[in-house]
Amino acid sequence: MDKQISVYTEESGQLRARVVRHAAIGVIKYGLIITLTVSFIFPFFWMASSAMKDDAQVYTAPPVWIPNPAHPENFIGAWSLLDFNRFTVNTVFKYAIPAVIGTLLSSVVVAYGFSRINWPGRNILFAICLATLMIPSQVRLIPLFVIFKELGWVGTYLPLVVPTFFGNAFFIFLLRQFFLTIPTELSDAARVDGANEFVIMWRIVLPLAKPALTVVALFTLLNTWNDYFGPLIYVNQEAQYTLALGINRLRGALTEVGSQELGFPYLMAVSTIVTLPIMIAFFFAQKTFIEGVSLTGLKG
Amino acid sequence: MSNFPFSFSVSKIRFKRLTHVEQRNLRLGLLFVSPWLIGFLLWTLVPIASSLYFSFTRYTVLQPPTFIGLRNYINLASDEQYLLVVKNTLWWVILAAPGGVLSAYLIANLLNTKIVFRPLFRALFFFPSIVPAIVTTTVWLFLLNLQWGAFNSVLKALGMQTIPFISNPDWVKPTIIGIHIWAQGGAMVIFLAALQDVPRELYEAATVDGASGWSKFWHVTIPMTSPVILFNLVLAFIAAFQQFDLPWLLTQGGPNKATEFYAVYLYRTAFLDLRMGKAAAMAWILFVVILIFTFILFRTSRRWVYYGGGDQ
């Protein structure tokens, strides 16, 4: 390469060297990015492909990357091993949706009080609200369990859902930051016209805060769908299980390699089904996900 | 500071009686934040106080707590099992938190270069962080399975020795760190947003001054994003100290207690051994350690975090 360049005049040689260098950096950069993304996504590919294998395609080396013939009937077989329909209903209707409603209602009202009304002592209380984020959940865990046990709530979804109606410090913070960016002129004008504070919140501020509300709803939905620890502590009967607890139960049943027919494919099939809604939500609401995450980071 | 535009008015009010409007606003404000206030009392203040009390008791939930003074704390100091867990946790925290932040930062920088399909790559790196831990751990357990996982199947087919990623106490530690780093897409997205906010003029000025790529990285990129590095680092440390899902769902603390981290042992102590007093003491030690750690991070950050315009 050096020899070749020396043939050219000095200037064009330099130019050529720069072009070569540029191309080399490009190749390395894209090579690196593509290698990394492929390895990041590979586990999900493996999950989906293994979900459609039979035992012969699992217990073999080298591994089968794409099963042929594929066995999509595994999805049905795996789903009916345990009562996964019921686990889905539990997760969505007993946990996720009530939690989204509770979190939205309470966090919106509280964040409004911390941002759109000017009252003495507001900032001290808000500082305390933020400070609670520093407390590790383990410190509250045991007394809360005792309280909920005394109330007879253990074994139900109440310990997971009721506290969401009292505001989530993190989402209060997120919504407050957003509410502060909405100009006060509109609400001032409405106030002069005699509108009360709830009407102003409902009619003027909330319609302008839709992006932030979507972020809160989406992340609450995600957190409840993914939550393992909460249901582990409070939900103890299989009929009440969430999907996460259900998968864990299935894993326990199929854990011994080869002891159960189609153990691995069934586990991968259920995992795929539970991941699918997240994948679909992410596909359609990617902007909300990404903006939500960057919002929390940059305003911190 | 700009977050608290009204902070001056609080001190002013102390010296004079509230006007009619201020009284009205105070009532209204308290009304709006009352859900949080009540919740704070019920789900934070009361539990924290009782947790501190429980830490001085022997408590099994089945019988009322009996006061035993500092016994729980004293016993923990000589509890070999506990000391092993502390050692495991410190090891985990010190590698996983900075490791996760560093890799997220590097990937974000890679994506911040001139590339096509940036949103696609960003989405692919981010995705593992929003999949439930029960799914990711199940898939990784299979992938890394000693007999039939993809990795070991390839090794076997190549005639090489298989690697006990999960079942060997020495291997499981790097394995769990690797899986943790894999799921740090949230930090990466935050970093990428911060990197895109760095003013282009700074890079142009540095280029005019003849700065190389490396020196631009060291003298422009890192200082300009240092507040976000600190933010992610603090979050990562706090989360790592409390890490439960990953070690519990991957290995249940094993093999041979190699991944028995603080939150796992605390859960075991409280809910499987029903030793709530001991667990409460453990939780309080964790709380204090996290506070100290965060405080130290903020103190040292004064030397390396650059706040543009001198606004802290």
pLDDT digits (tens, 9 = 90+) for A50-96: 999 988 888 887 888 899 898 999 999 999 999 999 999 999 999 99
Token pair belonging to A31: 């090579």
Token pair belonging to B180: 């943790």
DSSP labels, A70-114 = --THHHHHHHTTTTHHHHHHIIIIIIIHHHHHHHHHHHHHHHHHH
d(CA B3, CA B311): 12
What is the total count of domains within chain A? 1
| Closest CA–CA distance from residue A14 to any residue of chain B (Å) | 17
What's the ipTM? 0.89
- Residue pair A74/A51 in contact by the 8 Å Cβ criterion: yes
Strand segments, DSSP code E, in B36-181 are 57-58, 66-67
**CA torsion through residues A73, A74, A75, A78, sign:** positive
Q: CB contact, 8 Å: B240 with chain A?
A: no
d(CA B275, CA B280): 9
Residue A208 belongs to some domain of the structure: yes
Chain segment A142-175, per-residue pLDDT in tens: 999 999 999 999 999 999 999 999 999 999 999 9
Q: CB contact, 8 Å: A67 with chain B?
A: no
Residue A226 belongs to some domain of the structure: yes
Residue A163 belongs to some domain of the structure: yes
Residue A211 belongs to some domain of the structure: yes
Q: Across residues B187-205, what is the average pLDDT?
A: 91
Q: Does residue A12 carry a pLDDT above 80?
A: no
Residue A177 belongs to some domain of the structure: yes
Token pair belonging to B139: 């898939």
Q: Which of B124, B135, B273, B305 is most worth mutating to test chain A (most A CB atoms within 10 A of its CB)? A: B135
Query: Residues of chain A with pLDDT > 70: what percent?
Result: 93
Nearest CB to B47: which of A118, A140, A278?
A: A140
Q: Does residue A8 carry a pLDDT above 80?
A: no
CB contact under 8 A, B40 and A271: no
CB contact under 8 A, B189 and A109: no
Nearest CB to A142: which of B119, B182, B280?
A: B280
Q: Does residue B143 carry a pLDDT above 90?
A: yes
Q: What is the DSSP letter of B157?
A: H
Contacts of A83 (CB under 8 A, 6+ apart): A238, A239, A246
Q: CB contact, 8 Å: B131 with chain A?
A: yes
**Model pLDDT, residue B4:** 41
Residue A71 belongs to some domain of the structure: no
Q: CB contact, 8 Å: A61 with chain B?
A: yes
Which candidate, B56, B60, B81, B77, places its Cα nearest to that of B275? B60
pLDDT band at B74 (very low <50, low <70, confident <90, very high): very high
CB contact under 8 A, A118 and B6: yes
Q: What is the DSSP letter of A166?
A: G
Which candidate, A91, A236, A242, A105, places its Cα nearest to that of A163? A105
- Chain B residue numbers with beta carbons less than 8 Å from the beta carbon of A233 are 271
Average pLDDT, chain A: 89
Q: How many CB pairs under 8 A join A and B?
A: 279
Which of the residue ranges A56-70, A251-265, B75-89, B144-158 would you say has the lowest mean pLDDT? A251-265
Per the model's pLDDT, the better-predicted residue between B176 and B306 turns out to be B176
**Model pLDDT, residue B308:** 66
Give the amino acid at A168: N
Residue A51 belongs to some domain of the structure: no
- For residue A65, give the chain B residue with the closest CA: B150
Q: Across residues B21-35, what is the average pLDDT?
A: 92
Q: CB contact, 8 Å: A112 with chain B?
A: yes
Nearest CB to B228: which of A229, A275, A297?
A: A297
Q: CB contact, 8 Å: B6 with chain A?
A: yes
Query: Residues of chain A with pLDDT > 90: what percent?
Result: 63
CATH for A93: 1.10.3720.10
- Chain B residue numbers with beta carbons less than 8 Å from the beta carbon of A145 are 61, 270-271
Sequence spans of domains, chain B: 72-310
Half-sphere exposure of residue A75, counting CA atoms within 13 Å on the CB side?
Answer: 11
CB contact under 8 A, A61 and B26: no
Report helix angle A97-115 to A210-226, nearest 10.
140
Nearest CB to B43: which of A40, A163, A177?
A: A163
CB contact under 8 A, B134 and A244: yes
H helix intervals, B112-221: 118-126, 133-143, 150-157, 169-182, 185-196, 200-208, 213-216
Give the amino acid at B51: S
- The residue with tokens 């699918």 is A276
Contacts of B127 (CB under 8 A, 6+ apart): A40, A41, A44, A279, A282, B185
Chain segment A62-74, per-residue pLDDT in tens: 888 899 898 999 9
d(CA B136, CA B113): 30
Strand segments, DSSP code E, in A87-208 are none
**Model pLDDT, residue A1:** 44
Neighbours of B311 (CB within 10 A): 7
Contacts of A73 (CB under 8 A, 6+ apart): none
First to last CA, chain B: 7
Residue A118 belongs to some domain of the structure: yes
Domain limits for position A223: 82-254
Nearest CB to B54: which of A142, A233, A282?
A: A142
d(CA B97, CA B184): 10
Read off φ and ψ for residue A80, nearest 5 degrees. Answer: -95, 0
Token pair belonging to B171: 């291997």
Q: Which CATH architecture has domain B72-310?
A: Orthogonal Bundle (1.10)
d(CA B176, CA B96): 9
| Closest CA–CA distance from residue A9 to any residue of chain B (Å) | 25
| Closest CA–CA distance from residue A171 to any residue of chain B (Å) | 12
Average pLDDT, chain B: 89
